[in-house]
Amino acid sequence: MSLFVINRYLGDEVDSSADRSKVLLEKLHQQAKERQLQLTKEQQDVKKTAKTKRSAEVKTHADTAHSDNEEETPRKSKKRKKRQDDGEKVALSRPAECEEKEQYVDQEKESKEWTEDLKAENPEEKNEDSQSQENVVKTNGDSVNPSGLLLGDFETKSLQKVQPVLPHWLSQPNLVQRDIKQNLVPIEDVPGLHSKLVKKLEANKVKSFFPVQAEVIPAILESTCHGFLLGRGGYRPSDICVSAPTGSGKTLAFVVPIVQCLLQRVVCEVRALVVLPTKELAQQVCKVFNTYVDGTGLKVVMITGQKSFPKEQESLVQRMAYGFCSLADILVSTPGRLVDHIQQTEGFNLRHLRFLVIDEADKMIDSMNQDWLYHVTKAVFQTHIGTSKMLFSRKEPGILTAASSFHCQTPLQKLLFSATLTQNPEKLQQLGLYQPRLFTSTYKASGTDPHYTSNNGSYSLPEGLTQYYIPCNMNSKPLILLHFLLSLRFTRVLCFTNSKDASHRLFLLIKGFGDINVAEFSSRLSPGERKKTLKEFEQGKLQLLISTDATSRGIDIDGVKCVINYDAPQFIRTYIHRVGRTARAGTAGLAFTMLLKVQEQRYFNMLRDAGAPELKKQLVKSENLKQYVPRYEEALIQLQRVIKDERAQKRS
Ligand SMILES: Nc1ncnc2c1ncn2[C@@H]1O[C@H](COP(=O)(O)OP(=O)(O)OP(=O)(O)O)[C@@H](O)[C@H]1O
Closest atom of ligand 1 relative to the 210 alpha carbon = 1
CA distance 187 to 123: 69
Mutating to test ligand 1, I would choose from 212, 284, 584, 587 the residue with most ligand atoms within 8 A of its C-beta, which is 584
Closest atom of ligand 1 relative to the 281 alpha carbon = 27
Q: Which pLDDT does position 414 carry in this prediction?
A: 96
pLDDT < 50 stretches in the chain:
1-15, 58-144, 445-457
Q: 642 CA distance to ligand 1 centroid (A)?
A: 40
Q: 459 CA distance to ligand 1 centroid (A)?
A: 18
Q: State the DSSP string of 237-256.
A: PPPEEEE--TTS-HHHHHHH
Closest atom of ligand 1 relative to the 585 alpha carbon = 12
Closest C-alpha to 497, from 534, 530, 533, 545: 545
- Does a structural domain hold residue 55? no
* Greatest C-alpha distance within the chain: 134
- Does a structural domain hold residue 25? no
CA distance 524 to 31: 93
CB of residue 557 inside a 6 A radius of ligand 1: no
Instruction: Verify that 378 and 511 share a domain, yes or no.
Output: no
Instruction: Verify that 236 and 364 share a domain, yes or no.
Output: yes
Instruction: Verify that 400 and 484 share a domain, yes or no.
Output: no
Please name the residue whose Cα sits nearest to atom 25 of ligand 1: 246
CB of residue 584 inside a 6 A radius of ligand 1: yes
Q: State the DSSP string of 77-110.
A: HHHHHHHHHHHHHHHHHS-HHHHHHHHHHHHHHH
Closest C-alpha to 418, from 366, 375, 373, 464: 366
Q: 247 CA distance to ligand 1 centroid (A)?
A: 5
Mutating to test ligand 1, I would choose from 176, 280, 556 the residue with most ligand atoms within 8 A of its C-beta, which is 556
Mutating to test ligand 1, I would choose from 251, 418, 463 the residue with most ligand atoms within 8 A of its C-beta, which is 251
Instruction: Verify that 331 and 214 share a domain, yes or no.
Output: yes
Query: Which residues, including other chains, have CB under 8 Å from residue 159's CB and lie 6 or more apart?
Result: none
Q: 248 CA distance to ligand 1 centroid (A)?
A: 5
CB of residue 333 inside a 6 A radius of ligand 1: no
Instruction: Verify that 645 and 518 share a domain, yes or no.
Output: yes
Q: 556 CA distance to ligand 1 centroid (A)?
A: 8
pLDDT of 493-509, one tens digit each? 999 999 999 999 999 99
CB of residue 465 inside a 6 A radius of ligand 1: no
Instruction: Verify that 417 and 537 share a domain, yes or no.
Output: no
CB of residue 580 inside a 6 A radius of ligand 1: yes
CB of residue 209 inside a 6 A radius of ligand 1: yes
Instruction: Verify that 347 and 490 share a domain, yes or no.
Output: no
Supply the ipTM of this predicted assembly. 0.99
Please name the residue whose Cα sits nearest to atom 12 of ligand 1: 585
CB of residue 247 inside a 6 A radius of ligand 1: yes
Q: Which pLDDT does position 235 carry in this prediction?
A: 76
Domain total for the chain?
3
CB of residue 210 inside a 6 A radius of ligand 1: yes
- Does a structural domain hold residue 163? no
- From residue 316, alpha-carbon distances to 222, 311, 351, 537 in Å are 30, 9, 14, 32
CA distance 576 to 586: 16
- Does a structural domain hold residue 635? yes
Closest atom of ligand 1 relative to the 419 alpha carbon = 25
Q: 40 CA distance to ligand 1 centroid (A)?
A: 90
The pTM score is: 0.73
CB of residue 251 inside a 6 A radius of ligand 1: yes
CA distance 283 to 289: 10
Tell me the CB-side half-sphere exposure of residue 572, using CA atoms within 13 A.
Answer: 21
Q: Which pLDDT does position 120 carry in this prediction?
A: 42
Instruction: Verify that 433 and 473 share a domain, yes or no.
Output: no
Instruction: Verify that 428 and 475 share a domain, yes or no.
Output: no
Q: Which domain holds residue 128?
A: 32-50+106-132
Q: 585 CA distance to ligand 1 centroid (A)?
A: 6
Q: Contact, 584 vs 556, CB < 8 A? A: yes
Radius of gyration of the chain (CA): 40
Name the helix (H) or strand (E) containing 5.
Answer: none
Closest atom of ligand 1 relative to the 558 alpha carbon = 29
By the 10 Å C-beta count (0-12 exposed, 13-18 middle, 19+ buried), 287 is classed as middle
Evaluated on CA atoms 299, 300, 306, 310, the torsion sign reads positive
Please name the residue whose Cα sits nearest to atom 9 of ligand 1: 249
SS3 category, 468 = strand
- Does a structural domain hold residue 596? yes
Q: 143 CA distance to ligand 1 centroid (A)?
A: 80
CB of residue 548 inside a 6 A radius of ligand 1: no
- Does a structural domain hold residue 645? yes
Please name the residue whose Cα sits nearest to atom 3 of ligand 1: 206
Please name the residue whose Cα sits nearest to atom 31 of ligand 1: 249
Please name the residue whose Cα sits nearest to atom 22 of ligand 1: 250
CB of residue 441 inside a 6 A radius of ligand 1: no
Please name the residue whose Cα sits nearest to atom 8 of ligand 1: 249
Q: Which pLDDT does position 337 carry in this prediction?
A: 95
Please name the residue whose Cα sits nearest to atom 20 of ligand 1: 247
Instruction: Verify that 405 and 528 share a domain, yes or no.
Output: no
Closest C-alpha to 548, from 280, 251, 244, 276: 280
Mutating to test ligand 1, I would choose from 210, 280, 332, 549 the residue with most ligand atoms within 8 A of its C-beta, which is 210
Q: Which pLDDT does position 297 carry in this prediction?
A: 93
Closest atom of ligand 1 relative to the 206 alpha carbon = 3
CB of residue 569 inside a 6 A radius of ligand 1: no
CB of residue 248 inside a 6 A radius of ligand 1: yes
Q: Which pLDDT does position 231 carry in this prediction?
A: 63
CA distance 143 to 207: 88
Please name the residue whose Cα sits nearest to atom 14 of ligand 1: 247
Q: Which pLDDT does position 430 carry in this prediction?
A: 86
Q: Which pLDDT does position 411 carry in this prediction?
A: 86
CA distance 607 to 589: 18
Q: Tell me, what CATH number does 196's domain have?
A: 3.40.50.300
Q: 530 CA distance to ligand 1 centroid (A)?
A: 22
Q: 79 CA distance to ligand 1 centroid (A)?
A: 71
Instruction: Verify that 418 and 359 share a domain, yes or no.
Output: yes
- Does a structural domain hold residue 10? no
- Does a structural domain hold residue 384? yes
Instruction: Verify that 396 and 516 share a domain, yes or no.
Output: no
